[in-house]
Chain A
Amino acid sequence: MIIKKNIHIVRALQIAMLFALLLNTGCAPVTRVVLLPDPDGKVGIVDVSSDKGIQTLDNPWQTTEVSSKGKAPSVPRLMDEKAVRAMFKEALAAEPIPPVFSIVYFETDSSDLTTESLKILSRVLEEIGVRKSTNIIVSGHTDAVGSVEKNQELSLKRAKAVADFFVSKGVHPENIDVTYHGKGSPLIPTPDGVPEPRNRRVEITVQ
């Protein structure tokens, strides 16, 4: 009697598993989402939703799963860091080094870098090397002293000074994208004609 009952349970389980298998074929894939810490250690937030509900992940290594379209995301739980690293091994290995953004500053009405900025520039050069970067975006800016035309020209000169420095150190010119904005894109907004050292700058993005 007991044995017979067990057989029934086993049979029921087998049928349930078969159904689960059938439901999972083709267009009903399982989605797993894991929140990772940012490279700087900070942790953001991701909302995972389906037709039936929503879960918020806000702790590192927290995970939720949506097993089919008609299901709500599972209650978040912590996943072992090693297991996450194993599950996403190839994707993590393929993830590029995050791009880096730097600003260098210039003397008044000139394309001469400030002493401090020369040091920053050599650091940027190292960052280009580490990333083997082929996408370096260099954009020149000025403060609000002088005419629009004069500042357009000065901002281009500044951007070119930075680009020329990189080229002199062996960076291929084709890998550098130079743009210039004159006084049109100040970091610190000021009335026209006001000198502002923090706006006399070149912004560099190394991707």
Chain B
Amino acid sequence: MKSTVIIACLSLLMYVGLASAEETKAGFVKSVSGQAFIGRKQISIPAKAGDKLFENDIIITGSDGNIGVTFQDNSILGIGPNTQVNISKFAFDPANKNFAFFAQIKKGTLVYLAGLIAKLENKSVRFETPTAVCGIRGTHLAIKVEAGDE
């Protein structure tokens, strides 16, 4: 039941990922430990330090995995095990005053320290979970999404 739902969610995300043609470099993998993957265009590749991340990438960690990410706007993300995060929108373009960082946390744990995007434009950083939306106004926060059957 649970794995079916996860697969369904995953394939849906992959499909959404394909819908957007243009890719923007969002950041890079700062550190990896254990099992961690980047899902991109229906392919999942093992993540390693230095890997670039783009809009629409999905970060997935296994039961022993965690991963650190640094974004272009100097915001940082620490992701714990059994986590799935979709970088659904990332824009850091000071020349055109275009700022946005939207992420979806399907499950797991993360900590996030906001960077320049949150500082330069109000309501530009938004993290969504299956049950809640977090509007981040320049801060440090932790989010946990826990399935009830665990």
Q: Which residues of A contact B (CB under 8 A)?
A: 20-21, 23-39, 43-50, 57, 66-69, 71, 73, 84, 87-96, 98-99, 101, 134-135, 205, 207
User: How far is B129's CA from A71's CA once the two chains are assembled, in angstroms?
Assistant: 13
Contact assessment for A21 and B70 in the assembled complex, using a CB-CB cutoff below 8 Å: no
CB distance from A206 to the nearest CB of B (A): 10
A residues less than 8 Å from B148 (CB atoms): 20-21, 23-25, 28-30
Q: Which residues of A sit under 8 angstroms from B130, Cβ to Cβ?
A: 27-29, 31, 69
B75-87 interface code vs A (CB 8 A; 1 in, 0 out)? 0111111010000
A31–B141 touching, CB < 8 Å:
no
In the assembled complex, B144 has its CB within 8 A of some CB on chain A: yes
Q: Are A90 and B66 in contact (CB under 8 A)?
A: yes
Residues A99 and B78 in contact, CB atoms below 8 Å apart: no
Q: Given A28-B148, A29-B131, A31-B129, does the pair A94, B33 have CB atoms closer than 8 Å?
A: yes
In-complex Cβ contact of B132 among A37, A48, A87, A101 (8 A) = A48
- Specify which chain B residues have a CB less than 8 angstroms from the CB of A99 in the assembled complex: 70, 74, 76, 115
Complex CA–CA separation, A36 to B112 (angstroms): 9
Nearest chain A residue, comparing its CB with the CB of B112: A95
Kindly report which residue of chain B lies nearest to residue A45, judged by CB atoms: B137
Are B139's CB and A95's CB within 8 A? no
Hey, which bits of chain B sit against chain A, CB under 8 A? 1-2, 5, 9, 28, 30-31, 33, 49-50, 66-70, 74, 76-81, 83, 107, 109-111, 113-115, 118, 129-149
Task: Specify the main secondary structure of chain A where it touches its partner.
Answer: mixed
A153: min CB distance to chain B, Å: 21
* Chain A residues near B28 (CB-CB < 8 A): 134-135, 207
Contact of A84 among B1, B83, B139, B142 (CB under 8 A): B142
Contact of A90 among B77, B81, B129, B143 (CB under 8 A): B81
Residue of A33, A48, A93 near B78 (CB, 8 A) is A93
Most B CB contacts (10 A, CB to CB) among A73, A134, A207 go to A207
CB pair A44–B110 under 8 Å, yes or no, is no
Q: Report whether B31 and A96 are in contact in the complex, using a CB–CB cutoff of 8 Å.
A: yes
